Structure 1
Amino acid sequence: MTIEELEARIEKLEARADMDALMQRYAAAADRKYTALGQKQPPEAVAAAARDQAECFTVDGRWSGGGFGGDLQGRAAIAGFFETSPWLFTAHHYGAPSMDIAGDGAQVRWRLLEIGIREQDGKVLLLTGAVSQHCRRTGEGWRIAQMAFESLHAICLAELPTELRCLIPAGEVLS
């Protein structure tokens, strides 16, 4: 293996690590809008978390949420949607990525597991699916240029939000 080949492999490994960190940042910002006890944070905290989540996108990034958010372009539109999220609690888990990296661009596919408490009726849902992205390396680092759900499924785990218990940090007791 030549030095050039080794450098190219290292660059791809670093890009993978950067995109993984980007999705962890995205998920953490999405979940930061809610308390451990299933309540929305104060409006200014929700807005800050929504901006942080939107900053994971390129300035001209696209969100294609289908029935969940429609098609949005640009950080301001994406942040506005994330700020009006229909949840009282979420815990996003993105994993098992497949990445095809070529220079400053990448096609990425993530598996999604998310648990959430729906604001409209308090139902506890488990969502699962796949998300496809096109990512670009920018002056800010790797960012999402386009994100779309390939599939999204939901199952109702409980009719009441109190069925989802917070053991740590709230210290609720399992009954």
Structure 2
Amino acid sequence: MKISTWKVLGMTIILTGITAFGYVLHTSYGEEDIAPKESISVEATFPDLSTEELKNNSELVVKGIPQKIDQVIMDGEDNPITVFSFEVSSTYKNDNSNNSKIIHVYQDGDATLQYAEHPLMELNKEYVLFLEKYNDSYLMLGGPSGKFENSGNPSIMSEQDPTYSATTDKSITLEELEGLQGG
């Protein structure tokens, strides 16, 4: 059986066209559509509490590290809330209802929708949190006002790097926390 040159040439053109069309589809609608979406940052208004208001109104003030994300729940249709397991290394104020070394902390947002002024806590990074009770868990008092991040290296003892900063341009030292009642 003899195949004509025209048939071979026609098949080559068709296969080349299919390959080119596949390449165009791949580059137009390829891996970037399959890859995880980047986080969207949205603006929101949170209470702007002073350090004194945080100290006076919090039920629990702790230093520690978020160990893992337990779950993400929805508050309404489009307001995600992330629930962290937070390992407490120091307690500065306690309402005496919780002496646990692991607490659950709720924070507005999730990996895909974060608030510009209140970015999600990073796992294994050290924070000081001013908290209020919410069922068997805790909420950050004043959102970003109640979250202070250790900007230093968490492997360095806090006495060597005692200042913690909030995204609200406030800062606090561990020395300031030592005098809180009920710790």
TM-score by length of 2: 0.26
The structure in which a higher percent of residues are helix is 1
More strand by share: 1
Max radius of gyration: which structure?
A: 2
